Amino acid sequence: MDVAAEDAEELMASRVPASCPPGFQGRYTVQPGDTMFLIAQRFGVSLNALIAANPHISNPNLIFPGDVLCVPGGPGECGNRVPASCPPGFQGRYTVQPGDTMFLIAQRFGVSLNALIAANPQISNPNLICPGDVLCVPGAPGECGSRVPASCPPGFQGRYTVQPGDTMFLIAQRFGVSLNALIAANPQISNPNLICPGDVLCVPDGGCLRSPCCVILEKVDGKDHPLGVALIEDPRQGKSLVGILAVGLRPTGLFGSFQGLVTIPGVGSFSFPLHRCGSDHDLWAGAIKLDCDLTCDTTVCVQPVSHKGAPGNPILCASLESCCGDLFDDLSVMSLEECEECQEEEGEE
């Protein structure tokens, strides 16, 4: 190997600094297309300061992917600045990440740029923030700011404090309740599309289904036939049974059989075959055992299946809301634990 090749090989080896100077922002691994000038711009430091902080790079015009650089603090500006305190009603504290700007952070948290700047007097130049700086994120004007309900409705599951990234839809899914029920239980949230970390929500009971329970499967297209009924058993023991009996189901040239479909919002859909009861009758029946609990907004449907196994549009459907209403009318609103105890007593009888 000649001298030039040896020099090139030495230059292309991943170079790592033994240590970084005090107050540096962090270490950065060079990526394809990087230059010292672009890296300095990205982190808000001068080119000379970046070069001086990396004496292991003998030729700053020649850096390679894999090289590790020390990124110094911005002169007189950056360096892990932390506010002494945050204003009342603030959403939380945020640590600046590489690539952040005050404008992007304000957009992310739904606040105005001016409000974010005003809440952070420790940032003397809002056009220059560095990774490691800590910002106070104010509440969105007129909307957010640690809103707490005066009281929660009877039988609610509990109170939940909103976390970054939460939405009403995700919270409803997490606790197994409908979105409308969650919104209705929290009138203090004037705009359910805008909730902020620190807001406190009442989580309503997801509903307790009585067992056993029968629901009439309604005709989707409104025609006279077919007719059907679904039987629900043990819906709150983690081992649910759903049975379907339907009459007037007639195979066609395209669809030769039928199946049941149970859909639990936030959990998934489960299909099972229906079997024809005798060759001379349009009577079909089937059942499925599920290793999960059913909810009041669960739907049970019947849909045709083609000769190739592809399902068609549902022709009979029902929700399980009626399996909740009678129980609440008779027993008032109970907690989930009380409801399960009631069902256990009914089973013993």
Q: Which of 198, 142, 187, 195 is nearest to 170 (CA)?
A: 195
Percent residues over pLDDT 90 in the chain: 17
Q: How many CA atoms lie within 13 A of 306 on its CB side?
A: 7
Q: Which of 247, 213, 211 is nearest to 227 (CA)?
A: 247
Question: Which residue spans of the chain are classified as CATH 3.10.350.10?
Answer: 3-71, 79-141, 158-203
Percent residues over pLDDT 70 in the chain: 78
Query: Measured in Å, how far apart are the chain's first and last C-alpha atoms?
Result: 91
CATH number 2.60.40 given to 213-327: yes
| Residue pair 44/130 in contact by the 8 Å Cβ criterion | yes
Q: How many CA atoms lie within 13 A of 86 on its CB side?
A: 17
Q: Does pLDDT of 287 surpass 90? A: yes
**What are the Cα distances from residue 206, in Å, to 15, 85, 136, 265, 339?**
58, 39, 36, 12, 11
pLDDT digits (tens, 9 = 90+) for 294-326: 877 789 999 999 988 899 889 999 988 778 743
Go through 71-91 and write b for each residue having 16 or more CB atoms within 10 A of its CB, e for each that does not: bbbbeebbbebebeebeeebb
Residue range 79-141, CATH number? 3.10.350.10
CATH class of the domain defined by 3-71: alpha beta
- CATH H-level, domain 158-203: superfamily: LysM domain (3.10.350.10)
Q: Does pLDDT of 347 surpass 50? A: no
Report residue 268's pLDDT band, with 50, 70 and 90 as the boundaries: confident
Q: Flag the least confident range among 158-172, 291-305, 317-331.
A: 317-331
**Confidence (pLDDT) at 71:** 84
Bridge partner list, 304: 258
